[in-house]
């Protein structure tokens, strides 16, 4: 089927044709034949890069252009939301029926807002969590949504993020029973179950635009699924590195999945020695530039130093311990072909689109603290393998598992390569997860009595797979808990939320977190300090990531605990007398200590060395703390603890910026982060007023400031700069050399 044959407006076809697409791929034809453009619900389960996005785009634009419809595009990750938002931006020159240009919006942050402004957009891209929070705020435009696209719907299988997605879909259908649903999925074995749940057609296929050859590397031989075999030259004794070198020799790029972050770094280090010989001069220059950019982005740590070093050789590593700006830089440079070999943890497999000619799955076992090593699922394997083969560049892609022995090779062949991906299951039926969804169902007015609640849960994928009667006991227990904690009230058989309950639901926190915060705010420890507040948030189940104490740290953590005993919100010995959860307690105290070190301006490198908390984790920790502190401030307002609000607000700002109190005013200036703020402060510029009145030369002289930034902050502080001086500085060498990126 040709693009011009599609039943969509001509100017839409023109834009698609201008991107080089002339004919539809087979799964796309199947989707069209299934009636997706006529409003039928559809589950489209096909491999990465088989063109699912185009179907979503066609469907979305048809809704907007032909009937002024409104589209919600759901993704599981912020990075994916950005990717899709950019995909849709190419259509903003098109118009709706009423002549207005199409508006595309994105919203992924701030869970405590109904974002009324989003109502102005036709296509709205969000994460599943953001959509859930919008539904809790009853954003009124949500009932106008005519099409919801659920990208990566197999995420339903994820214990943490899956339930949110099924709740969001069930709620949207409740709000608007006529809503069209388009669910996109990797290949799974029970796509038909999801389709039945959603009353949808189903298209399942293994078709790929670039053929995929799957195989196993044993010693220096590759055994392919199709029976072929290949010997690889041996530059390194019995190592998958030989395969990497083979692919590089043939002009390809390699993506290698490792089981742990540490392995990804060690392997990158080892690979760098060999890969550097394959780099041409112009690429070498680009790599050097990238390497410098890595060092200049954010604070220097031993991780960023290692990253910049291996990048010089054409190799990089990618994992959740890196800052997001480093990850984006690496993704971009791998896509541009500058980085030749990328080692990564499995999180990359479900992230942004990043194909390579060859994918090597170095470890089919993955390590998770607390669980140890376990084999990855077939679904995960398929997603990693699916990254092989770059459209437009490669004739075929290769996905290779690494085995040590022939027996292991056989095992991998049977259990991954020819195996069918698992069924996916609803993960909703767990008390911890259900708690917050039961509250939000009541608080946002989606149910008014117990029966309504069960009816709602029957509409979820859980309800489809198991029936709500299985979680009846859990739901009853949760309602009782919410009643006892005064989040809901009961009159006859009517259940409604109290102000407290409604606010907790909107704040998007676990009701248990709310109880911990409420009690800490009213009971207050003997000495109520920043440590108390940090402990209050670290004690909640919403704090993420959960830190774990290393054995060598235990003495120090206990000492810290002892020194701050009067400031903690719980008496550990009383509460954890049996020491059963002692490791959790230590982890919690460690989180307090890490956050405290952060606001005491310990450098990211010090935090990494002392606690082994990597920059990416530190960022997530501060993000959780900020969200919980914000929620605490809101609850303090509601519960009559106004005296605490300034203190919580100040701590929020300190956690956001990672600074002592005295720097709070300086870091409000654009381009001034914690490092430069401290340098300015120590050079005698302590307030905005000081910057305003400072002679420009003095500011320029401050290390790490430079001309551009000096001018910028002086202007922002309200200072004036004479025109001739401005011109003079702009011509100086200092101006050309200075940068304004924040750190």
Residues engaged in binding ligand ADP (CB under 6 A):
21, 23-25, 28, 48-54, 353, 391
DSSP string covering 90-156, please?
TTTT-B-TTSPBP-EEEE-S-SS---GGGGG-SEEEEEHHHHHHHHHTT-GGGGG--EEEETTGGGG
What is the nearest approach in angstroms of ligand ADP to the Cβ of residue 3?
A: 8
Nearer to ligand ADP, 185 or 468 (CB): 185
Euclidean distance between CA atoms 443 and 38, whole angstroms? 36
Nearer to ligand ADP, 375 or 391 (CB): 391
Euclidean distance between CA atoms 197 and 528, whole angstroms? 51
What is the nearest approach in angstroms of ligand ADP to the Cβ of residue 22?
A: 7
The answer to whether 708 and 697 are in contact (CB under 8 A) is no
Tokens of 534: 């940090």
What is the nearest approach in angstroms of ligand ADP to the Cβ of residue 532?
A: 48
What is the nearest approach in angstroms of ligand ADP to the Cβ of residue 27?
A: 8
Q: Which helix (H) or strand (E) holds 568?
A: none
Nearer to ligand ADP, 54 or 265 (CB): 54
Decide: helix, strand or coil at residue 367. Answer: strand
Euclidean distance between CA atoms 468 and 478, whole angstroms? 14
Nearer to ligand ADP, 10 or 643 (CB): 10
CA nearest to 303, candidates 339, 268, 273, 333: 268
* Cβ-based neighbours of 258, under 8 Å, separated by 6 or more: 264, 267, 343, 344, 345, 362, 363
What is the nearest approach in angstroms of ligand ADP to the Cβ of residue 211?
A: 15
- Compute the residue count for the chain: 743
Nearer to ligand ADP, 50 or 114 (CB): 50
Q: Residue 88, Cβ neighbours under 10 Å: how many?
A: 23
Side-chain-facing half-sphere of 693: CA atoms under 13 Å: 6
Burial class, 576, CB count within 10 angstroms (exposed 0-12 / middle 13-18 / buried 19+): middle
Euclidean distance between CA atoms 257 and 401, whole angstroms? 10
Euclidean distance between CA atoms 208 and 206, whole angstroms? 6
Write the CA distances from 270 to 137, 239, 667, integer angstroms: 51, 11, 40
What is the nearest approach in angstroms of ligand ADP to the Cβ of residue 83?
A: 9
DSSP string covering 270-337, please?
HHHHHHGGG--HHHHHHHHHHHHHHHHSS---HHHHHHHHHHHTTEEEE-TTS-HHHHHHHHHHHHTT
Nearer to ligand ADP, 25 or 91 (CB): 25
Nearer to ligand ADP, 92 or 405 (CB): 92
486: left (phi over 0), alpha (psi -120 to 50) or beta: left
What is the nearest approach in angstroms of ligand ADP to the Cβ of residue 379?
A: 15
Nearer to ligand ADP, 45 or 195 (CB): 45
CA nearest to 613, candidates 597, 630, 626: 597
Nearer to ligand ADP, 393 or 454 (CB): 393
Nearer to ligand ADP, 2 or 302 (CB): 2
Nearer to ligand ADP, 24 or 478 (CB): 24
């Amino acid at each position: 089927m040709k693009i011009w044959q599609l039943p969509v407006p001509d100017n839409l076809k023109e834009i698609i044709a201008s991107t080089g697409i002339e004919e539809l791929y087979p799964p796309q034809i199947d989707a069209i034949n299934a009636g997706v453009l006529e409003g039928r619900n559809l589950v489209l389960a096909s491999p990465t890069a088989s063109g699912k996005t185009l179907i979503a785009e066609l469907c979305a634009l048809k809704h907007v252009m032909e009937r002024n419809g409104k589209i919600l595009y759901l993704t599981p990750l912020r990075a994916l939301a950005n990717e899709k938002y950019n995909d849709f931006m190419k259509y903003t020159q098109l118009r709706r029926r009423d002549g207005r240009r199409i508006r595309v919006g994105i919203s992924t942050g701030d869970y405590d807002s109904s974002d009324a402004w989003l109502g102005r957009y036709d296509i709205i891209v969000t994460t599943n969590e953001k959509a859930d929070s919008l539904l809790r705020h009853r954003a009124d435009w949500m009932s106008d949504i005519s099409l919801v696209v659920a990208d990566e719907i197999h995420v339903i299988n994820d214990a943490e993020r899956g339930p949110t997605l099924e709740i969001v879909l069930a709620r949207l259908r409740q709000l608007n029973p006529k809503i069209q649903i388009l669910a996109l999925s990797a290949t799974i074995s029970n796509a038909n179950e999801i389709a039945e749940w959603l009353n949808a057609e189903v298209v399942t296929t293994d078709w790929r635009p670039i053929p995929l050859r799957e195989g196993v590397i044993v010693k220096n031989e590759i055994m392919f699924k199709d029976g072929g075999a290949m010997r690889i030259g041996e530059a390194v004794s019995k190592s998958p590195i030989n395969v990497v070198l083979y692919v590089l020799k043939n002009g390809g790029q390699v993506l290698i999945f490792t089981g742990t972050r540490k392995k990804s770094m060690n392997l990158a280090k080892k690979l760098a020695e060999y890969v550097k010989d394959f780099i041409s001069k112009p690429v070498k220059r680009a790599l050097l530039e990238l390497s410098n950019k890595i060092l200049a982005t954010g604070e220097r740590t031993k991780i960023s130093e290692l990253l910049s070093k291996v990048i010089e050789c054409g190799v990089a590593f990618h994992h959740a311990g890196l800052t997001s700006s480093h990850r984006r830089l690496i993704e971009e440079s791998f896509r541009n072909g500058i980085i030749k070999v990328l080692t990564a943890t499995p999180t990359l497999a479900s992230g942004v689109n990043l194909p390579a000619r060859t994918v090597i799955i170095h470890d089919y076992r993955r390590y998770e603290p607390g669980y140890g090593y376990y084999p990855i699922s077939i679904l995960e394997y398929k997603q990693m393998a699916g990254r092989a083969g770059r459209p437009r560049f490669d004739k075929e892609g290769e996905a290779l598992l690494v085995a040590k022995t022939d027996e292991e090779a056989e095992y991998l062949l049977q259990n991954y390569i020819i195996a069918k991906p698992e069924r996916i299951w609803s993960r909703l039926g767990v008390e911890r997860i259900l708690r917050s969804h039961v509250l939000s169902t009541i608080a946002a007015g989606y149910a008014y009595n117990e029966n309504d609640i069960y009816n709602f849960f029957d509409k979820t994928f859980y309800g489809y797979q198991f029936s709500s009667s299985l979680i009846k006991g859990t739901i009853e227990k949760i309602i009782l808990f919410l009643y006892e904690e005064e989040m809901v009230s009961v009159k006859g058989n009517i259940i409604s939320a109290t102000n407290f309950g409604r606010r907790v639901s909107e704040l998007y926190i676990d009701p248990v977190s709310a109880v911990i915060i409420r009690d800490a705010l009213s009971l207050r420890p003997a000495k109520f300090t920043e440590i108390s507040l940090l402990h209050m948030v670290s004690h909640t189940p919403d704090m993420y990531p959960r830190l774990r104490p290393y054995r060598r740290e235990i003495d120090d953590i206990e000492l810290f605990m002892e020194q701050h005993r009067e400031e903690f919100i719980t008496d550990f010995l009383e509460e954890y007398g049996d020491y059963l959860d002692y490791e959790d307690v230590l982890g919690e105290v460690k989180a307090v200590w890490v956050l405290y070190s952060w606001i005491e301006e310990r450098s990211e490198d010090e935090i990494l060395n002392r606690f082994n908390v990597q920059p990416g984790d530190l960022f997530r920790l501060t993000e959780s703390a900020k969200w919980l502190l914000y929620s605490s401030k809101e609850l303090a307002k509601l519960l009559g603890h106004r005296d605490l609000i300034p203190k919580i607000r100040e701590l929020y700002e300190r956690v956001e910026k990672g600074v002592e109190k005295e720097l709070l005013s300086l870091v409000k200036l654009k381009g001034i982060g914690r490092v430069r703020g401290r340098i300015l402060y120590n050079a005698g510029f302590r307030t905005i007023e000081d910057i305003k009145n400072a002679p420009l030369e003095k500011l320029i002289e401050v290390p790490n400031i430079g001309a551009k930034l000096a001018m910028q902050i002086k202007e922002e502080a309200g200072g004036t700069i004479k025109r001739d001086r401005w011109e003079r500085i702009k011509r100086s060498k200092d101006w050309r050399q200075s940068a304004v990126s924040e750190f």
